[in-house]
Amino acid sequence: MPTDEIVISLKDVNKWYGTFHALRDINLDVRRGERVVVAGPSGSGKSTMIRCVNRLEEHQSGIILVNGTEVSNDVKAVEKVRRDVGMVFQQFNLFPHLTVLENLTLAPIWVKHMPKAEAADIAMKYLERVKIHEQAKKYPGQLSGGQQQRVAIARSLCMRPSIMLFDEPTSALDPEMIKEVLDVMVELAEEGMTMVCVTHEMGFARTVADKVVFMADGQVVEMNTPSELFGNPKEERTRQFLSQIIRH
Amino acid sequence: MAMVAGIGWFLVANTLTNLNARHIATGFGFLDREAGFGISEHLVPYLPSDSYFRAFEVGLLNTLEVAVIGIVLTTLLGLVMGIARLSHNWLVARLASAYVEAMRNVPVLLLLLFCYSLITVSLPLSRNAFNLFDCIFLSNRGLRVPAMIWDDSAVMVVSTLALAVAASFLVGVWARRRQEKTGRYFPVLWSSLGLIAGLPLIAFLATGAHLSFDVPHMAGFNFAGGSTVSPEFAALLLGLVVYTGAFIAEIVRSGILAVSYGQTEAALALGLSRMQVLRLVVLPQSLRVIIPPLTSQYLNLVKNSPLAVAIGFPDLVSVANTAINQTGQAVEGVSIIMGVYLAISLILSFLMNWYNKRVALRGGR
Amino acid sequence: MAESSLLENPSANGWLRGPVDWARKNLFSSPANSLLTIVALWGLWLAVPPAIQWGLIKATWIGDPAACRAAGGACWGLVTEKYRLILFGIYPYDEQWRPFLAVVLFIVMLATAANPRFWRPWLGWVLVAGLVVVSVLMWGGILGLPLVTNDRWGGLPLTLILSIFGIVLSFPLAVVLALGRRSQLPAVRAWCVVYIELWRGVPLISVLFMASIMFPLFMPEGVTIDKLLRAQLGIILFTAAYLAEIVRGGLQAIPRGQYEAADSIGLTYWQKMRLVILPQALRLVIPPLVGQFITTFKDTSLVIIIGLYDLLSSTKVALSDPQWRAFYVEGYVVAALIYFVFSYVMSQYSQYLERRLSAGARRR
């Protein structure tokens, strides 16, 4: 269960795309072991926010700290943060020119300077955990979407991150494959991994999350435990969004 | 079918009649006869008293020389310009696009003629040549550089250089093995550069720090000594490289763009550095997009090289042209040209296909 | 909303903050980038001011070589003096309004054919009629126009004739070859593959050589075809191979379902091609076809080697005058500009078409 140690902290973070104000004064703390689900309508800045955490997007004002390191223009600091923070993307983004195993060992070999055999051992261990080790020698193009996303999760885990970011991990999947990916994520949560997860899977949020953050128009509208936020939303905007989701 | 055969027969019959009427023997017998014309540039010894066959050989070697050097240089230029077009630096990106647009929209022949005039009209006469350290001279007669004299010391230096190249290759293999075993990274690039620069230098000092060169000097109206890059060769190479480079730049650019940005993001998120992302993730994927059109640009460069005729560089086509004018063996001459180019095309396509298969995506969608 | 955002954080958007921020972001974002910018600026400083000095400030606009040498700049007098030779070659001086009119007609035809609104069956006939009018204008011999044999044609009209006739006449051949390459009959397919790969494997210049020295041998006793016609024939045969591959690409892009649908309603092979497949495929291949046209347009300059006077060769002839020889830069710059304007406009057009076609595909 979450400790008191804050591992991600966003203070008054702002971001603009040209004249479009994408993030407005975002304040958010994530504790070690905490599972945070970020929800909200599309275009509300959810993805932008978590992409700022590992500097895939630049914020223009405010402070982002990850394990005490400030995310800034300093390349070394950013590389340190990225080694500590795993990320799973909506489109999987597996490297199509490498086998599943090579996808997993690439970063341990080149970033952590790990011997190839050792990296492969670790990779196989994680592949077994996501139940896909028979496919190690295949190429990503030969796998189904759900399998690819599980490989992508394993790929991030191989770097032994202390935090995992999920950017709509199930949105690009066919319905019958969503469960296999969610199962892996639930298992990960049960092991105590710190997770920030942008998703539309409200069932997942309800069962797993310690905290649900609702965002709209680049702002954090409301933040609470799942039972409170879903059962007793304080803001009109939240209520509106929830009613739309439930109707579908 | 019958129509095609009919037309074929009609053409062959006419040709035979015409050749008979002009008393031209058919066949390749003329290749053994004495050529009787000089060729200004030859990589192998050649005299006008040599046979036509020898003349064709000389022409072919000249063509291959231009093709090989041209392909290497134009690849480098295209790579640099293609990446420059994608640069975040506004000025650099604009300059690179200006180059690409300018080159793509003018005829290559115009470029060749321009380069040739540039060298022969605008560069100074031999006696006023641009002079670099009294040993390199640039004039309208071309570029004159010192030539190495092959004494013992030179042989030593050059062979250690070859040794160093081989050694750095071995270092590369060893470094990769070691990285696989222990994970420790070895700076291959720097150590190789050190080897390649260092070993020959040691050899140079050990053999008494002395190398002799045949330095060009004025003798009468022109230079004597040294070796020359002729204006014809320089103009042909410059024109072909600059022209083809623009097309390659476009290919490189679209190849890099074809790799989705998600790949870069995923690799960055794993903690790889920008250089590693380019080397390990982006380039291997763009290569398979780049290679097929790159092959056809290489072929275009080779197929544009006979424009040498227009500026008087003795490539295969210009030698063949002279031979045809002298002997009247038009059918044979043109067949030799076409056969050689077809062969070059096939070999080059084969090589590039083979390479493409090696980098191709396995099991891709 | 946008404005208030800017007020809250004016540093957010450099572009609107003015040139200093813009430059910091686009030119000096890192030390390496700054170095690149400085090198590039230094290069421009070395090249541009002297070029302006030479091309505009010190240039001589009208006048003979002596005046040019005195001024020390560009000698545009070459162009004012020789533009008729460069543009029209050695066409009889008093009749040069005819090639001029032909060029205008060509441009009108190209502009008409470029407009998708006119992509109707009648366009083909209009183009053919246009080409006939151009031929009459150039040849003469009827309607009171003095006859001008084609050994006196030259310059821009010749370039346009070779490339436009080349592309238009090679097109039907290309369609036949492309269909043949996808034919079920092995013999037909083999012939087409050999034809296409043979022409694509050899340089155009060797084709022109062949046309100029071998075609005469192919003809029966007494029949001669003139040099221009031979070159034109060579260009057509050569271009057809490249066009065929482009058309084949279009045929391959048509989904299988279209073929099956046409078969299922009982169309014969030729009906299927003419009514269903080709109309769709040809529309798809227009952008690469324009690209091929640009290539052919530039490549016609090779006819200089077999002694025809197209735009590039007439420029070279103008420069062969010993007193103007030193001003080759001006001559080639002018010729390059003419080539550039035609090619650039066409390539922009083909990019526009491509966007339009892909937009249409998305809408569906």
Q: State the pLDDT at residue B221.
A: 65
Subunits with 3+ Cβ pairs within 8 Å of C are A, B
When comparing pLDDT for C326 and C4, which is higher?
A: C326
- What whole-number distance in Å separates Cα of residue A214 and Cα of residue A242? 10
CB A122 within 8 A of CB A109: no
Which pLDDT tens digit goes with each residue over C309-357?
888 888 888 888 777 777 788 888 888 999 999 899 888 888 888 787 7
The mean pLDDT values, 10 residues at a time, for chain B of 365 residues are: 72 72 69 76 77 86 91 93 86 91 91 86 72 73 73 78 86 81 75 81 74 69 72 90 94 89 92 87 86 88 89 88 82 86 87 76 46
Q: State the pLDDT at residue C212.
A: 81
Q: State the pLDDT at residue C251.
A: 86
Longest CA–CA span in chain C (Å) reads 89
Q: Is A219 an interface residue toward C (CB < 8 Å)? A: no
Say if domain B46-110+231-316+324-360 classifies as CATH 3.40.309.10: no
What residues in C contact A16, CB-CB < 8 Å?
Answer: 5, 9, 12-13
What residues in B contact A112, CB-CB < 8 Å?
Answer: 183
CB A159 within 8 A of CB A81: no
Contacts with C, A 3-62, CB within 8 Å? 14, 16, 18-21, 60-61
CB C230 within 8 A of CB C218: no
At position C106, the amino acid (one-letter code) is F
The yes-or-no verdict on residue C126 having pLDDT over 60 is: yes
pLDDT lower than 70: segments of chain A? 1, 246-248
> Cβ contact (<8 Å) for A141 and B363?
yes
Token output for C341: 């304007």
Count A/B contacts: CB-CB distance under 8 Å. Answer: 96
Q: State the pLDDT at residue A50.
A: 92
- What whole-number distance in Å separates Cα of residue A23 and Cα of residue C12? 12
DSSP letter, residue A10: E
DSSP assignment string, B22-78 = TT---SGGGGGSB-----S--SS---TTSBHHHHHHHHHHHHHHHHHHHHHHHHHHH
Mean pLDDT, rounded, for C45-70: 76
- What whole-number distance in Å separates Cα of residue C217 and Cα of residue B22? 10
CB B71 within 8 A of CB B298: yes
CB B46 within 8 A of CB B54: yes
> Cβ contact (<8 Å) for C301 and B107?
yes
What residues in A contact B285, CB-CB < 8 Å?
Answer: 95-97
Mean pLDDT, rounded, for C55-60: 73
Q: Which residues of B touch A (CB under 8 A)?
A: 179-185, 260, 262-263, 265-273, 276, 280-281, 284-285, 288, 361-365
Top residue of B176, B259, B265, B270 to mutate, by most chain A CBs within 10 Å, is B270
CB atoms within 10 A of CB C305: 22
Task: Select the residue of B185, B273, B361 nearest A96 (Cβ to Cβ).
Answer: B361
Q: Is C5 an interface residue toward A (CB < 8 Å)? A: yes
Which pLDDT tens digit goes with each residue over C151-184?
778 788 888 888 988 888 899 999 999 999 888 8
Q: Is B44 an interface residue toward C (CB < 8 Å)? A: no
Task: Select the residue of C5, C15, C16 nearest A21 (Cβ to Cβ).
Answer: C5
Q: Is B269 an interface residue toward C (CB < 8 Å)? A: no
Distance from CA of B303 to the nearest CA of C (A): 5
Contacts with C, B 333-362, CB within 8 Å? 334, 337-338, 341-342, 345-346
Subunits with 3+ Cβ pairs within 8 Å of A are B, C
Point out which residues pair with A88 in neighbouring strands: A166
Task: Select the residue of C2, C8, C9 nearest A20 (Cβ to Cβ).
Answer: C2
Q: State the pLDDT at residue C15.
A: 44
- What pLDDT band is residue C364 in, cutting at 50, 70 and 90? very low
* HEC sequence for chain C: CHHHHHHHCHHHCHHHHCHHHHHHHHCCCCHHHHHHHHHHHHHHHHHHHHHHHHHHHCCECCCCHHHHHHHCCCECHHHHHHHHHHHHCCCCHHHCHHHHHHHHHHHHHHHHHHCHHHCCHHHHHHHHHHHHHHHHHHHCCCCCCCCCCHHHCCHHHHHHHHHHHHHHHHHHHHHHHHHHHCCCCHHHHHHHHHHHHHHHHCCHHHHHHHHHHHHHHHCCCCCCCCHHHHHHHHHHHHHHHHHHHHHHHHHHHCCHHHHHHHHHCCCCHHHHHHHHHHHHHHHHCHHHHHHHHHHHHHHHHHHHHHCCCEHHHHHHHHHHCHHHHHHHHHHHHHHHHHHHHHHHHHHHHHHHHHHHHHHHHHHC
Distance from CA of B152 to the nearest CA of C (A): 43
DSSP letter, residue A44: S
Count A/C contacts: CB-CB distance under 8 Å. Answer: 27
- What whole-number distance in Å separates Cα of residue C272 and Cα of residue B213? 74
Specify the pairing of strand A163-167 against strand A194-198. Answer: parallel
- Interior CA angle at C104 toward C98 and C110, to 5°? 135
The yes-or-no verdict on residue C226 having pLDDT over 60 is: yes
> Cβ contact (<8 Å) for A16 and C1?
no
Residues in chain A, total: 248
Top residue of B89, B94, B115, B244 to mutate, by most chain C CBs within 10 Å, is B89
DSSP assignment string, B317-331 = HHHHHHHHHHH--HH
CB B294 within 8 A of CB B248: yes
Mean pLDDT, rounded, for C65-92: 75
Q: Is B21 an interface residue toward C (CB < 8 Å)? A: yes
CB B66 within 8 A of CB B233: yes
Distance from CA of A58 to the nearest CA of C (A): 11
ipTM score assigned to the predicted complex: 0.89
Of all residues in chain A, the one with the smallest CA distance to B181 is: A115
Q: Is C9 an interface residue toward A (CB < 8 Å)? A: yes
| Residue for token pair 């035979």 | B16
DSSP letter, residue A18: T
Q: What are phi and psi of B360, to 5 degrees?
A: -65, 160
Q: State the pLDDT at residue C360.
A: 59
Q: Output b/e per residue, A189-224; b: 16+ Cβ within 10 A.
A: beeebbbbbbbbbbebbeebbbbbbbbbebbbbbbb
Q: How far is CA B82 from the centre of its chain?
A: 19
Task: Select the residue of A89, A114, A117 nearest B266 (Cβ to Cβ).
Answer: A89
| Domain chopping of chain B, boundaries | 46-110+231-316+324-360, 159-208
Whole-number Cα distances in Å, B339 to A158, B135, B336, B345, C238:
56, 43, 5, 10, 16
> Cβ contact (<8 Å) for A96 and B268?
no
At position B154, the amino acid (one-letter code) is A
Token output for B29: 């017998």
Query: Which residues lie below 8 Å from residue C36, measured CB to CB, with a gap of 6+?
Result: B87, B89, B91, B92
Q: What global pTM score does this model have?
A: 0.80
Query: Which residues lie below 8 Å from residue B164, measured CB to CB, with a gap of 6+?
Result: B195, B196, B198, B199, B200
Q: State the pLDDT at residue B158.
A: 82
CB B78 within 8 A of CB B62: no
Point out which residues pair with C353 in neighbouring strands: none
Token output for B31: 């290749």
> Cβ contact (<8 Å) for C5 and A19?
yes
Specify the pairing of strand A35-39 against strand A194-198. Answer: parallel
Nearest to A193 by CA among A149, A153, A242: A153
Q: State the pLDDT at residue C3.
A: 35
- Interior CA angle at B31 toward B25 and B32, to 5°? 105
Q: State the pLDDT at residue B209.
A: 64
Query: Which residues lie below 8 Å from residue B117, measured CB to CB, with a gap of 6+?
Result: C319, C328, C329, C332
Positive or negative CA dihedral for A15, A21, A27, A33?
negative
Token output for B155: 């042989």
Specify the pairing of strand A219-224 against strand A211-216. Answer: antiparallel
- C-beta pairs of B206-210 under 8 Å, 24+ apart in sequence: B206/B156, B207/B152, B207/B153, B207/B156, B207/B157, B208/B153, B210/B153
What residues in C contact B121, CB-CB < 8 Å?
Answer: 325-326, 328
What residues in C contact B346, CB-CB < 8 Å?
Answer: 201
